[in-house]
Amino acid sequence: MTKERNDKIYEGMFVDATEGILVSNHKGQIILCNPSAQKMFGYTLEEFLTLNIDQLMPMRFQSQHVHHREWYFANPMPRSMGKGRDLYANHKSGEEFPVEISLSHVKNEEETLVVAFVIDIAERKKKDNQLKKANEMLKKASFQLSKLNQELEQKVQSRTLELAEMIKKLTESKKEVDLALEKEKELNDLKSRFISTASHEFRTPLATILSSVSLAGKYVEKNELEKIFKHLDRVKDSVSNLTDILNDFLSLDKLEEGIIKHHPEPTHVYDLIVDLLEMMKGVTKTGQVFNYHDETSNEKVFIDVRIFRNLLINLVSNAVKYSEENKTIIIKTEIKNKKLNVLVQDEGIGIPYEDQSNIFERFYRANNIGNIQGTGLGLNIVKKYIEILNGNITFVSEPGVGTRFLIEIPI
Ligand code: ADP
């Protein structure tokens, strides 16, 4: 093809097209190209016209391209080249650059020509790569962020658990402190109650002792021995009354501190009670008698002697105290169903029905006691002793008729 002819066709082409446009014949010879193609591939028009289109491909694709070209000439139709794979072109300098190519064909009077529209996509690829990289970095960052977030959540969760545990412990120790404070307060109340009760209860026996001693002094002068002994007896009664009160307080204190423990030992119940009643005869009123029925056959039972004695002293001394002169106090012992049952029954003033549910409470005294001395602690102590022995205590009482206490102790 002549230069004049080329120029003619060339004039009709898009000089300003940004795509490189190359026209080749069925042999692959380049017969036309626009300025963009020259710029893209680095060849002048003259150089282009000496080239075959296959030479614009990288070496490794050239032989394949010959077949593609021949096939296209046999089936010419507009289409894009190399769909789904990366295409590369060869620059004059030998450097490869990525391209996008679409093919079309024109027919002139002599032959069919193929028009290739070439776009240099190096810049776009670079941007795509940068975008891809940025995307990957973003993905990485977001993965790390979500990992961090997860770790943070786990930390928050474990800290929350630790905090909850701490709060729980704090609440528990607060409860303990509150309980200890309450106990301390109770103990203080008890002690002040103790002092006021003690000073009140001590007053009468002490006054009795004082008056009896001064009267006895007078009777010494007159040598009235009988009266002296009467007053000495009163002194003895008052002293034993004081001892009772003191014992009550001491027992209560020990019970409160949990010092008293259960130490069972083989014991002859009958012997123990006979001894105890003998001793308690000293506190009976005129004409009062103990009537003891034993059904244990003096069998040895396992029992804490000290606790058992204290229990009985309390119950028997109440029976004496709340009964008038000449009354009988019945004591019964039996062993039944692996339990030692003890009954203490009197014919005394009884316990008013309205007081019966409270008499085991500390300092509680029924309203029919008149001026009979007491602290309201004895039965409370008895109840605590019974608990230590894993036993049980019940009572039946009729005001004006008498009272019957029954204790059951496992042996
Ligand atoms: P105290 O005898 O020192 O008052 P207790 O705790 O031994 O204290 O008894 C509590 C109360 O129960 C007594 O004040 C009394 O009202 C009543 N009580 C206890 N035993 C008897 C009894 N055998 N007969 C009548 N009342 C009794």
Q: Is the pLDDT of residue 358 over 60?
A: yes
The whole-number pLDDT of residue 392 equals 96
Which tokens hold the place of 168?
């729980």
Q: Is the pLDDT of residue 23 over 70?
A: yes
Give the tens place of pLDDT for each residue, 91-140. 999 999 999 999 888 887 788 889 999 999 999 889 989 999 999 999 99
Q: How far, in Å, CA of 329 to CA of 292, rounded?
A: 8
Q: Is the pLDDT of residue 176 over 90?
A: yes
As a whole number, the mean pLDDT across the chain is 87
Q: Which residue's CA is the closest to the ligand 1 atom numbered 3?
A: 374
- The domains of the chain, with CATH numbers, are 3-120 (3.30.450.20), 260-410 (3.30.565.10)
The whole-number pLDDT of residue 201 equals 67
Q: Is 172 exposed, middle or buried (0-12, 13-18, 19+ CB in 10 A)?
A: exposed
Q: How far, in Å, CA of 258 to CA of 40, rounded?
A: 105
Phi and psi for 386 in degrees, rounded to 5?
Answer: -60, -40
Lowest mean pLDDT among 146-160, 201-215, 313-327, 335-349: 201-215
Distance 399 CA to ligand 1 centre (A): 12
The one-character DSSP state at 284 is P
Which tokens hold the place of 404?
């019957």
The whole-number pLDDT of residue 79 equals 79
Stretch 305-326: mean pLDDT: 91
Distance 375 CA to ligand 1 centre (A): 9
Distance 285 CA to ligand 1 centre (A): 17
**What is the CB neighbour count within 10 angstroms for residue 161?**
10
Considering only CA atoms, which of 22, 114, 115, 32 is closest in space to residue 74? Answer: 114
Using CB distances shorter than 6 Å, the residues near ligand 1 are: 318-319, 322, 346, 348-351, 359, 364-366, 369, 374-380, 403
The whole-number pLDDT of residue 38 equals 94
Stretch 300-322: mean pLDDT: 90
Distance 270 CA to ligand 1 centre (A): 25
Give the tens place of pLDDT for each residue, 268-277. 999 999 988 9
Q: How far is CA 176 from CA 170, 180, 181, 253, 257, in A?
A: 10, 6, 8, 22, 17
**Residue percentage of the chain with pLDDT more than 70:** 93
Q: Which residue's CA is the closest to the ligand 1 atom numbered 23?
A: 319
Which tokens hold the place of 408?
């059951």
Collapse the DSSP code of 408 into the 3-class scheme (helix H, G, I; strand E, B; otherwise coil) and give the result. Answer: strand
Q: Are 123 and 18 in contact (CB under 8 A)?
A: no
Collapse the DSSP code of 100 into the 3-class scheme (helix H, G, I; strand E, B; otherwise coil) and give the result. Answer: strand
Q: How far, in Å, CA of 43 to CA of 131, rounded?
A: 32
Collapse the DSSP code of 159 into the 3-class scheme (helix H, G, I; strand E, B; otherwise coil) and give the result. Answer: helix
The whole-number pLDDT of residue 151 equals 94
Q: Which residue's CA is the closest to the ligand 1 atom numbered 20?
A: 318
Atom of ligand 1 nearest to the CA of 314: 7
Q: How far, in Å, CA of 327 to CA of 329, rounded?
A: 7
Overall residue count recorded for the chain in this entry:
411
Please list the alpha-helical segments (H only) found in 257-360. 269-280, 305-321
Task: Tell whether the torsion through CA atoms of 406, 409, 410 and 411 is positive or negative.
Answer: negative
Q: Is the pLDDT of residue 396 over 90?
A: yes
Task: Tell me if the pTM is above 0.85.
Answer: no
Q: Is 29 exposed, middle or buried (0-12, 13-18, 19+ CB in 10 A)?
A: middle
Distance 234 CA to ligand 1 centre (A): 22
Q: What is the DSSP string of 333-382?
A: EEEETTEEEEEEEE-SS---GGGTTTTTSTT---TT-TT----S-HHHHH
Q: Is the pLDDT of residue 2 over 60?
A: no
Distance 18 CA to ligand 1 centre (A): 121
Give CA 343 to chain center in angstroms.
50
Atom of ligand 1 nearest to the CA of 375: 3
Give the tens place of pLDDT for each residue, 42-62. 999 999 999 999 999 998 888
Atom of ligand 1 nearest to the CA of 365: 14
